[in-house]
Amino acid sequence: MGLPSGVARPLRFLAARFHSLAMYAENPVLLQVRRKGVTANHYMSLKKQWIKNLGFRTVLDVGANTGQFAVAVRAYLPEAQIYSFEPLPDCFQKLQSRFAGDRKFTAFNMGLGAESGIVAFERQDFTPASSFLKLTARYKDALPATQSSHASAVQVRVQSLDEIAKELDISGPLLVKIDVQGFEDKVVAGATETLRHASVVIIELSFVEMYHGQPLFRQVYEQMVQLGFDYHGNLEQMEQPNDERALQADCIFLRRGEETPASSVAN
């Protein structure tokens, strides 16, 4: 026989609070991350021994928003050179502010894709959902914050990562993170040479259509396999609230057959 709900709820709350306090006690750096507006989950998802063992010297943060991923990376990989790419001007300014004074951080106010140009971008009030594509009803059902979000068109500059990488000082081991809300296939298509030097690529991919006309997991998975990567699970995933069905995941791709990470990248 279970506990009465009037007793069970407070106990669950206390247990959750105790777990949270214990996590912060074991990881004091979480307080620094939190002060910069990043949740503990972003940091803890990266706090993996295998990631630390690879000793990444360069991180390419594609689809940075306001720096959630980059802040977590900086907390866990303090010596890494970080290059972040964010097309929305207001998010870019917040990103810049978060890393003011960080000499190993450089941000670019642009989107990445298969080719250069000026492209219409759907800016949502809930900016993490902004995309070159339009939201589907499924996304709005899964994430209540987007249901009342207003979309406005913004013209953004787009270049390929391969073109930009020629001008960057990129040293291996290299980690690439791609979170571009349905534009993943275009980013990968414009980054084939750069990705060949990466040890790990983390890409947010969808299993169902969250944006109209977006590529699903299988399509981008096949692109990555052709580039010499194998799929090795997820860091985090987004689930349908009513039945916990997986909708999106931060998918991990490791370079196939590479026992030690690449030591350098030739521009």
- Do 14 and 54 fall within a single domain? no
Give CA–CA dist 196/174, Å, rounded.
Answer: 10
Q: Is residue 265 part of a domain?
A: no
- Do 80 and 158 fall within a single domain? yes
Give CA–CA dist 235/252, Å, rounded.
Answer: 7
How many separate domains does the chain show? 2
- Do 24 and 86 fall within a single domain? no
Q: Is residue 109 part of a domain?
A: yes
- Do 4 and 69 fall within a single domain? no
Residues in the chain: 267
Q: What is the per-residue pLDDT for 243?
A: 80
- Do 30 and 98 fall within a single domain? no
Q: Is residue 175 part of a domain?
A: yes
- Do 155 and 250 fall within a single domain? yes
pLDDT per residue over 86-114, tens digit each? 999 999 999 999 999 999 999 999 999 99
Helix (H, G, I), strand (E, B) or coil at 66: coil
Question: Which residues of the chain register pLDDT less than 50?
Answer: 1, 3, 7, 11, 13-24, 260-267
- Do 3 and 72 fall within a single domain? no
Q: Is residue 260 part of a domain?
A: no
- Do 29 and 147 fall within a single domain? no
Per the confidence metrics, is the pTM higher than 0.95?
no
- Do 219 and 188 fall within a single domain? yes
Give one DSSP letter per residue of 77-122, joined into a string.
-TT-EEEEE---HHHHHHHHHHTTT-TTEEEE-SEE-SS-EEEEEE
Give the tokens for residue 134.
Answer: 């339009």
Q: Is residue 221 part of a domain?
A: yes
Give CA–CA dist 18/6, Å, rounded.
Answer: 19
Give, to the nearest 10 degrees, the angle between helix 89-98 and helix 68-76.
20
- Do 11 and 105 fall within a single domain? no
Q: What is the per-residue pLDDT for 42?
A: 62
Q: What is the per-residue pLDDT for 61?
A: 98
Q: What is the per-residue pLDDT for 41?
A: 64
Q: Which domain holds residue 21?
A: 1-35
Domain CATH number, residue 103: 3.40.50.150
Q: Is residue 242 part of a domain?
A: yes
Q: Is residue 70 part of a domain?
A: yes
- Do 175 and 70 fall within a single domain? yes
- Do 72 and 187 fall within a single domain? yes
